């Protein structure tokens, strides 16, 4: 299901609670561990793993694994901006993976494991640029940061067995 239909469905179910939620999409390697990291943050209300950044419509996991869809394994994060800021989400993003390894995180290799930030608003784009500049000025990484930064387009929710995968299997991390 595309992000638009998913968002409309979500708002229909949750809009009555009066919560104003923002959303963000991050790619930082295998989406199972990335999802678990974001779910643990106070202020993150919901997550979904899926595929973003490519041009192949309605991909399945097997499609994305070929490396021919252009999609990265990604996590859609819905958060309460009154409890956690986008800047704090960015700080977590930079902390949980190595943004200097193109198409690789740990033992996972392929374009689907690339580092990426897909922003929704001009404010998010500005926050990403500022965060990246701070990171570069801090000299935390010896190699250049290769994180893909681009506007969010379509987010395709992954198959249900991937959602909260680590939680379903009694694990807190991939390691």
| Residues taking part in catalysis | 30
Q: Which long-range contacts (CB under 8 A, 24 or more apart) does 12-18 make?
A: none
- Rounded Cα distance between 144 and 136, Å, is 9
- Rounded Cα distance between 175 and 166, Å, is 11
Nearest to 112 by CA among 121, 103, 125: 103
Q: DSSP E strands: which ranges in the chain? A: 22-28, 44-52, 72-79, 104-105, 108-109, 115-119, 148-151, 155-157
Specify whether the CB–CB gap between 63 and 69 falls below 8 A: yes
């Amino acid at each position: 299901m595309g992000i638009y239909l998913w968002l409309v469905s979500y708002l229909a179910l949750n809009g009555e609670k009066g919560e104003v939620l923002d959303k963000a999409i991050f790619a930082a390697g295998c989406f199972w561990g990335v999802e678990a990291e974001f779910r643990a943050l106070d202020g993150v209300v919901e997550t979904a793993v899926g595929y973003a950044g490519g041009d192949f419509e309605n991909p399945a996991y097997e499609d994305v694994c070929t490396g021919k869809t252009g999609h990265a394994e990604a996590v859609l994060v819905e958060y309460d901006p009154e409890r956690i800021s986008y800047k704090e989400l960015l700080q977590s993003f930079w902390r949980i993976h190595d943004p200097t390894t193109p198409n690789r995180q740990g033992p996972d290799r392929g374009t689907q494991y690339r580092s990426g930030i897909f922003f929704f608003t001009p404010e998010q784009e500005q926050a990403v640029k500022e965060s990246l500049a701070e990171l570069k000025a801090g000299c935390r990484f010896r190699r250049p940061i290769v994180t893909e930064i681009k506007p969010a387009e379509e987010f395709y929710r992954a198959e249900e067995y991937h959602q909260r995968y680590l939680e379903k299997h009694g694990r807190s991390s991939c390691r």
